[in-house]
Amino acid sequence: MAKIFCVANQKGGVGKTTTTVNLAAGLAKLGQRVLLVDLDPQGNATMGSEVDKRQLSPSVYDVLLEQASVAEARVRAQKCGYDVLGANRDLAGAEVELVGLERREKRLKQALQAVASDYDFVLIDCPPSLSMLTLNGLCAAHGVVVPMQCEYFALEGLSDLVNTIKQVHANLNPKLQVIGLLRVMFDTRITLQQQVSEQLKAHFGEKVFNTVIPRNVRLAEAPSYGLPGVVFDPGARGSQAFLEFAQEMVARTKALPT
Ligand code: ADP
Ligand code: MG
């Protein structure tokens, strides 16, 4: 049965999508069966997984509105080695359309139940907000992976996310937990980043993943080829780090009940 994880941080540009596609590809390389769910109307994880967001029909939007099943909407990303439940601009409308519908925050959870035995991992790329879409992700998930840059305001932003996760845990999804904080776009030459990294470890202890993802231009170039870095250039430093991270995820989530 699939273990389901959100990659979330309400800030934009912190590396959520890069983490989701590269973790998906890394897990696939380890022989895990993976479904990537794109919950961001920008559709970057979709496009970054060799899937054209303009060609999707149906998409995750139709799944949330119960007009299609996951089995109907998923597509295979051949080179990436995983399945994609893709998103495009249609999804921006779902936010409004879901208001007033019943079980609105549990739509994704319910839809994923039908395919849970097809996968070992389901990874959900969340939008940069704590919206109804992110709430659907958090309600469906066993845990949250939080990518973050080690910068001055990083810790401040984290408390909003941690509070939201606590509320969802208390009211909607008692299974939900923070799996870990992932330091991304890390540059060891920058003293401030090392200081923030130390603060993170002091404050969150074991919740900080051991793997650190370096800033690496190959990871940034890969989306323009429609691929995760791990597939586009497996030898690159950033790709190697994500492969290591995939192993850490497998080890860290092994004992989680599904
Ligand atoms: P988010 O999904 O949180 O908005 P992205 O994953 O799209 O963030 O990353 C924001 C930008 O930073 C993108 O242009 C991406 O290619 C780049 N980027 C992400 N991680 C790295 C990294 N480790 N090294 C270099 N560039 C990165
Ligand atoms: Mg993104």
With 90 as the cut, is the pLDDT of residue 157 above it?
no
Q: 45, 125 in Cβ contact below 8 A?
A: yes
Grouping H, G, I as helix, E, B as strand and the rest as coil, residue 69 is coil
Distance 125 CA to ligand 1 centre (A): 13
With 90 as the cut, is the pLDDT of residue 95 above it?
no
Q: Average the pLDDT over 173-180 and give the result.
A: 96
Per-residue model confidence (pLDDT) at position 154: 80
What is the rounded CA–CA span in Å between residue 242 and residue 231?
11
Per-residue model confidence (pLDDT) at position 257: 82
Strands 3-7, 143-148: pairing is parallel
Ligand 1 atom closest to 9 (CA)? 3
Tell me the per-residue pLDDT of 219-252, one tens digit each, with 9 for 90 and over: 999 999 999 999 999 999 999 999 999 999 999 9
Assign 109 a pLDDT band (cuts: 50, 70, 90).
very high
Q: Average the pLDDT over 184-201 and give the result.
A: 94
Distance 46 CA to ligand 1 centre (A): 15
- Which residues keep their CB under 5 angstroms from ion ligand 2? 16-17, 44
Distance 254 CA to ligand 2 centre (A): 27
Choose the residue to mutate in 6, 9, 18 for probing ligand 1, maximizing ligand atoms within 8 Å of C-beta: 18
What is the rounded CA–CA span in Å between residue 74 and residue 76?
7
- Residues near 189 by Cβ (< 8 Å), separated by ≥ 6? none
Q: What is the pTM of this model?
A: 0.97
Residue range 3-253 in CATH 2.40.50.140: no
7, two tokens: 């990659």
Q: 21, 139 in Cβ contact below 8 A?
A: no
Phi, then psi, of 5 in degrees rounded to 5: -130, 135
**Pocket-forming residues, ligand 1, beta carbon under 6 Å:** 12-18, 44, 128, 184-185, 213, 215-216, 219-220, 223, 238
Length of the chain: 258
Strands 143-148, 177-186: pairing is parallel
Task: Give the gyration radius of the chain's Cα atoms.
Answer: 17
What is the rounded CA–CA span in Å between residue 57 and residue 86?
9
